[in-house]
Structure 1
């Protein structure tokens, strides 16, 4: 297993988990590296590719990026940890544009990565819309206005009448349900962890346990 993919809504702790998993792997003597979703030199979707997210061939170019990445890491023993790369920078952009080929894209995406035996860690709050409101309060008014204004201009928002901050919260809730459906259809190993504020150590422990568990096990982890 050479690949861990961490997914979830903004504010679920993807970046924190990726960084801590990488540090823990290095402490245990395992070569490891992690990639920030927004990294300009991201190995799959650098800024130069994301700038073309409105183009018709954006999904195919993303798949080409994943194929190059898979070919490169197949012969490498390094543990690669990517956060927000499977959904946020691809599926979410496709959803914003009302694209109807998301299922086809995601099936091809899984086929490309399956030889690497990846592990999906899916950080999922119980109530996505409530989580979105809490994240907005935590990140502040500037972040909230910026994201809400961006989402309001998307074809998806126009189609569904999503406006302002309330529209942003509804968008993230709908996006979470789309992610739920895609995760449910995966044949790759998926661990869904129900996240709550202040439980980063527990999430880390659950993620480590999932990575070390039997191949292709699917489970859901909720804090007692």
Structure 2
């Protein structure tokens, strides 16, 4: 294992940051190395200057009112506290989207000068130097296709929100960016900014082009980069997955809702689970335990004395705006 206390995983939205962070966390754990993955939307995140919707809105208001220097100073203080605490810890921390994401992509849409953003990143680099950080940058050559895929993946109003966020920002308005093409231009420009920062970042680092979606290969490349032993997948035959397929009910907001476990090709997907994107893949960890892809959640299927699946429990880290913790009762099919 490399001599590091911190693994930073970066890239634009949809580049696979949380997917890789989850994989790295699992690899470290299986290797007997104490670690902690802080998912970018996790509650009580050690680097965030907000902790709930009200404080988040206050931060946004300060930024949009031109008070970004104040926010930069507050965030740099958080980085300093984080670095000092981690230096005396035996735990390796994995962060996704905190260096080039978080404040960096909050400053960019406000049209903050690039040199000021680079100055902020340089200060963070110096703060993190004692941790010997490892930086992994994920990217796709075709930005338009990458954005299309993430909008399809997350569903709902993701595309319209992404377009509005880019084109209605100060950066987008000044450049008269419009529609999907304007959003693509916005993220291309942002990528240029962070790739400049990546090239200047003084740390162990690797850039990984992952357009092909060959995650087994990418994960192995990262394992090699981190100098971890080769990892084996959980030995759960896909033929066993049919056992878990079905409709599960849960209670939320005073009503009953349905959640589906479906078999798609050689893997399970979950659809309709709180705090989870539509049609999200489940990753087997053991016979009846699955990780929810890209999220800090785990599903455990429960059986009765006869081996019949009667329900499942979802557990995991609390997020800023909710939790995945629920018990789901399997709906028995009528005969």
**Normalised TM-score (structure 2):** 0.60
Deviation readout 1:29-86 (Å, 9 max, x if unpaired): 1001101112121110154465414132111111111101001110001110000011
Alignment correspondent of 1:93: 106
Alignment correspondent of 2:182: 167
Describe how 1:203-222 pairs up with structure 2 within 5 A.
203-212=218-227
Q: Does 1:82 align with 2:85?
A: no
Deviation readout 1:85-104 (Å, 9 max, x if unpaired): 11110111111111121111
1:128 to 111, 127, 143: 143
Could you list the structure 1 runs, at least 4 aligned residues long, displaced by more than 4 angstroms after superposition: none
Match of 1:145, SS? helix
Deviation readout 1:156-202 (Å, 9 max, x if unpaired): 11111112222212211111111111101111121001112431111
RMSD: 1.7
Alignment correspondent of 1:112: 127
Q: Does 1:63 align with 2:76?
A: yes
Deviation readout 1:125-182 (Å, 9 max, x if unpaired): 1222332233223333511112222222211111111122222122111111111111
Alignment correspondent of 2:33: 30
Match of 1:5, SS? strand
Q: Comparing 19-28 with 195-204, which one deviates more in the overlay?
A: 195-204
Deviation readout 1:94-118 (Å, 9 max, x if unpaired): 1111112111111111000011000
| Structure 1 residue runs without a partner (length 5+) | 214-224
Q: Which one has the largest radius of gyration? A: 2
CA contact (8 A) 1:40 1:46 kept: no
Shift of 1:10: 1.3
2:85 to 58, 61, 72: 72
1:17 to 8, 20, 23: 20
CA contact (8 A) 1:39 1:47 kept: no
Match of 1:82, SS? strand
**Normalised TM-score (structure 1):** 0.89
CA contact (8 A) 2:6 2:133 kept: yes
Q: Distance in 2 between matches of 1:60 and 1:148?
A: 30
Q: Distance in 2 between matches of 1:27 and 1:212?
A: 14
Alignment correspondent of 2:278: none
| Structure 2 residue runs without a partner (length 5+) | 229-335
The alignment covers a number of residue pairs equal to 213
More contact order relative to length (CA 8 Å, sep ≥ 6):
1
Match of 2:136, SS? strand
